[in-house]
Amino acid sequence: MENIEKQLREEAKKLLAEKKVDVIVGYEEGTLPCQATPCFIEDPESVERLVWNKYCSVNLAKYVHDLIFQHKESQKRAKPEERTKKIVGVVARGCTTRSIVLHLQEKQYDRDQVVVIGVPCTGYISKKKLAVAVGGKEVTECSVAGDTLSVTTVDGTKDIPLKEVTAANCLTCRFNNPVISDMMIGDPAPAMDADNEYKEVDEFEGLSEEERWAYFTKEMDKCIRCYACRNTCPSCYCKVCFVEQSQPKWVGAGIDETDTQVFQFMRMFHMTGRCVDCGSCLEVCPMGVDLRTFLKKLDKDAYNQFEYRTGEALDKMPILSVHSTEDKEEFIFEP
């Protein structure tokens, strides 16, 4: 890890000094233990802030998109010949690169506007799982050594196997190494348990209709509609989200439970063939809504029906962006 961090800082410094990028999006140490927050580095001297560890959770592709779009908006007032392009460097693990591939496929920015610094990834620590592991106590200190995480709380220090606190989406990740990259740091990470990625979905499909509906409504009842999931999702980049539209008003603003259900259902459905399973939405959700059980189903269907995995390759377009005469249609109703 330290080695990767060192190399990462060197590469970042070089890129910034040579003016190959305007800004580097990476992770820096957070203000709390066990935390890393996104940071934006423009000065080659401050690359020491960059870290790469087990606490780096959210998908940085969101910030790449935001930065490039903000810049594009600001350029609208400049004369066409004076317009500049913003080039963003990003520290990217597998899921981040998949989001970037998706952005490129959806023509959000050009390939030359993003410099991908690929890093191998063996999963991040899920804060929710960690909170469960320490019984909800406040973590005052933590460190990773090998396969164990030692956490200090008021109850003393406790060693937890990393596997127990690694996020569920990381444990079964298929693309933990970058899909595209301009430079790779460190050796490729070992493969994760990708064969079991649809285990939860298969189990959920086995439940009865009423049980599934009960689970869905139970989960959606928790949702307070803070829209943190949408704000952190790299695939959610609409300028005006449907929840904020008023003509037509898709989702009511009241306390009716079906409004929340419809919001969540439609936001998830918008992830059809676009969810990279980075787990950012779960990581930021203040209420612990289980979105993954549902999002993963879309992923499974996309693979089973169209042999498509989000962001797998630049030439494999998202399923709803293309069509084929060969698609199956056993769902069509024939009286």
Partner 1 sequence: MTENKANENWEPKIIAFVCNWCTYAGADLAGISRLQYPPNVRLVRLPCSGRVNPFYVVKALQEGADGVLVSGCHPGECHYITGNLSARRKFAMLKNFLSYVGIEPDRTLFTWISASEGEKFAEVVKGVTEKVKALGPAKKLVKKFE
Contact residues: partner 1, CB under 8 A = 204-205, 209-216, 242, 250, 252, 256, 258-259, 261-262, 265-266, 268-269, 272-273, 294, 297-298, 301-302, 305-306, 319-320, 323-325, 327-329, 331-335
Which one, 8 or 302, has the nearer CB to partner 1? 302
Which one, 143 or 272, has the nearer CB to partner 1? 272
C-alpha separations of 30 from 77, 124, 180, 193, 218 in Å = 36, 15, 28, 29, 33
Which one, 212 or 225, has the nearer CB to partner 1? 212
Interhelix angle for 61-75 vs 94-105, to 10°?
A: 40
CA torsion through residues 297, 93, 25, 50, sign: positive
Quote the tokens at residue 10.
């060197």
Interhelix angle for 199-206 vs 292-306, to 10°?
A: 100
Pick the closest to residue 280 from 136, 96, 120 (CA basis). Answer: 96
Interhelix angle for 209-222 vs 257-269, to 10°?
A: 100
Amino acid occupying residue 89:
G
- Nearest approach, Cβ of residue 113 and partner 1 (Å): 28
- Nearest approach, Cβ of residue 272 and partner 1 (Å): 5
Which one, 3 or 305, has the nearer CB to partner 1? 305
- Nearest approach, Cβ of residue 332 and partner 1 (Å): 6
Query: Which helix (H) or strand (E) covers residue 158, if one does?
Result: strand 156-161
Quote the tokens at residue 186.
């460190």
Q: What is the rounded distance in angstroms from the CA atom of residue 25 to the CA atom of residue 36? A: 13
- Nearest approach, Cβ of residue 295 and partner 1 (Å): 10
- Nearest approach, Cβ of residue 41 and partner 1 (Å): 40
Which one, 69 or 265, has the nearer CB to partner 1? 265
Helix (H, G, I), strand (E, B) or coil at 96: helix
Q: What is the rounded distance in angstroms from the CA atom of residue 309 to the CA atom of residue 302? A: 7
CA torsion through residues 15, 16, 20, 24, sign: positive
By CB atoms closer than 10 A (0-12, 13-18, 19+), residue 184 is middle
- Nearest approach, Cβ of residue 211 and partner 1 (Å): 8
Which one, 135 or 206, has the nearer CB to partner 1? 206
Pairing between β-strand 23-29 and β-strand 36-41 as defined by DSSP bridges: antiparallel
- Nearest approach, Cβ of residue 327 and partner 1 (Å): 6
- Nearest approach, Cβ of residue 185 and partner 1 (Å): 37
Which one, 157 or 213, has the nearer CB to partner 1? 213
- Nearest approach, Cβ of residue 40 and partner 1 (Å): 35
